Amino acid sequence: MSTADLCLQPATTIARLIREREVSAVEVLEAHLARIEAINSLVNAIVTLDIEGAHARARAIDAALKQGDDPGPLAGLPVRWPDCRLRTRIWPRQKECARRMARLSLPISCPILML
C-alpha cells in the first residue's frame, strides 16, 4: 500500500493493519508526516509537531506488538489535537496561547500525536 493510500484509509482499517502487523506504527506515522509535509504549507493546519515523541511512541507500539502484547485498539493511529495547550515542554507560542485560553476559561486539550 502506498503512502498516499495509507493516509486515506479509515481509522478502523489502519488500526487493523497495525494490529495484524501488515504495516508498522512507524510506517503509518511516516506516511502521515510525509502528507503533512506535502500539504501543510498550503493549509497551515499543523503548527506544532512532536515528531520525536511520536516516533518514540510508534516504536514502543511496534515493540509491544512484536512481543505479542496488546497496546490497545487505537494504538498507532495518528491523532491531531488543537495546538493550544498547557504543557511544560511546549514552545513559547503555544504557552502564550494556553495562557490566554486559561484567562478566558476556555477548555485546553492535552495533545498527543500517536495513541
Domain that holds residue 67: 3-81
The domain tally of the chain equals: 1
> Is residue 27 situated within a structural domain?
yes
> Is residue 102 situated within a structural domain?
no
Which cell goes with 35? 502528507
Which cell goes with 69? 502484547
> Is residue 31 situated within a structural domain?
yes
114: helix, coil or strand?
strand
Of 69, 67, 70, 100, residue with least CA distance to 85: 100
Which pLDDT belongs to residue 82?
Answer: 63
pTM of the shown model: 0.71
Which pLDDT belongs to residue 107?
Answer: 44
pLDDT digit string, tens, across residues 54-89: 999 999 999 999 999 999 988 999 887 665 554 445
